[in-house]
Amino acid sequence: MNVMNKTIELKMVVDAPLELNQLTDSAQQAAKAFIAAGTAANTVRSYRSALAYWSAWLQLRYGRALPDSPLPDTVAVQFIVDHLARPLDDGGWAHLLPPPIDAALVAAKVKSKTGALAFNTVSHRLAVLSKWHQVNQWPSPTESSTVRTLLREARKAQSRQGVQVRKKTAAVLEPLQELLATCSDGVRGIRDRALLLLTWSGGGRRRSEVVKLTVNDVRPLDGDTWLYTLGATKTDTSGVRREKPLRGPAAQALTAWLAAAPASCGPLFRRVYKGGKIGDQGLSADQVARIVQRRAKLAGLEGDWAAHSLRSGFVTEAGRQGVPLGEVMAMTEHRSVGTVMGYFQAGSLLDSRASQLLTNATAAAERADESGQS
């Protein structure tokens, strides 16, 4: 009887009961706000860029912008064949995007240059389209078997023709040392040396993680060791703060930077202006990438350099030096073994006995000959 009374009282409070299988407009907006707030700033920028491209392409190709209803999978198929180059029998390449539309996309500044897009770019834009549908609680056109099969076979076709997925050059030990050797230009060099070494030695940190670090996120443990604290990252959004070590040269470089740029709060890595003046504003993620590229250019290094070069270089060098994969992933915080294994195996195979069978056999034969002659 008491339970019934409570039920009646609760019903009197609710003006309009909610439908079990339908969200109100306010609930949908709140859910979208949570998703937006939980998405990294770099990801948000890439989503906006991709959606701007989708809107422009749809207007030029179909005469309509992003609609307020789900797109059919035929649109995703058209997008793939418009933007991915396919090999022709005569050895050439072709894609279906009409040249006037291609030029219009460049003129609208949503495309950097005319021509086909890289496979990774097309895949990313399809993923953003899928995310847009997911947020709006619509079925995604990219999940159809037609689209998935086409994308998979397109990847195979390009691979057979020698088109490789572009990867940033890995900064293993030797090129890292060459990058560091350029850091002799006053306060800027002190900052860049500390930044490069924290990013690399600290577990191959992402640039978004580095620019989030504050002065209060680092503390000395002893004369040769610092600890720095990570908050939310791309792969760990739990909110639990984790400490990572900086040892040896990395710790010394951080000590030198904090001595040159003392502060009680604020960003750990700040901008340096002309004359060596240190500002209060922190570096952006794009500026971290440009620092790596500038140092690579000063060092005369060939390759495709970016902030990710430090992350991939750390993993590759760890494999090269035989560090157990579990220890590497504890530092990098990779969640997927498949993601990290490509770099790790490349490093470990450099010094593998399996890659030196002929060399070892030849050396053994020469030693045997020398022994017989003596």
Contact between 118 and 106 (Cβ < 8 Å): no
CATH 3.40.50.1110, domain 38-160, yes or no = no
Ordered by start, the domain boundaries in the chain are 38-160, 173-353
pTM for the complete prediction?
0.63
The second-level CATH assignment, the architecture, of 173-353 is Orthogonal Bundle (1.10)
- Greater confidence (291 vs 168) lies with 291
pLDDT(249) > 90: yes
Residue 280: burial class (beta carbons within 10 Å; 0-12, 13-18, 19+):
exposed
pLDDT(322) > 50: yes
Most confident range (mean pLDDT) of 34-48, 73-87, 90-104, 149-163 is 73-87
pLDDT(289) > 50: yes
SS in 3 state form for the chain? CHHHHHHHHHHHHCCCCCCCCCCCHHHHHHHHHHHHHCCCHHHHHHHHHHHHHHHHHHHHHHCCCCCCCCCCHHHHHHHHHHHCCEECCCCCEECCCCHHHHHHHHHCCCCCCCCCCCHHHHHHHHHHHHHHHHHCCCCCHHHCHHHHHHHHHHHHHHHHCCCCCCCCCCCCHHHHHHHHHCCCCHHHHHHHHHHHHHHHHCCCCCHHHHHHCEHHHEEEEECCEEEEEECCCCCCCCCCCEEEEEECHHHHHHHHHHHHCCCCCCECCEEECHHHCEEEEECCHHHHHHHHHHHHHHCCCCCCCCCHHHHHHHHHHHHHCCCCHHHHHHHHCCCCHHHHHHHHHHHHHHCCHHHHHHHHHHHHHHHHHHHHHC
Residue 206: burial class (beta carbons within 10 Å; 0-12, 13-18, 19+):
buried
- Write down the pLDDT at residue 210: 93
Contact between 349 and 355 (Cβ < 8 Å): yes
Of the pLDDT bands very low, low, confident and very high (cuts 50, 70, 90), residue 6 is very low
**Nearest in space to 96 (alpha carbons), one of 72, 78, 74:** 78
Please determine whether the domains at 38-160 and 173-353 fall in the same fold group of CATH.
no
Quick one: what percent of the chain has pLDDT higher than 90?
A: 48
Spatial distance between the Cα atoms of 348 and 350, rounded to a whole number of angstroms: 5
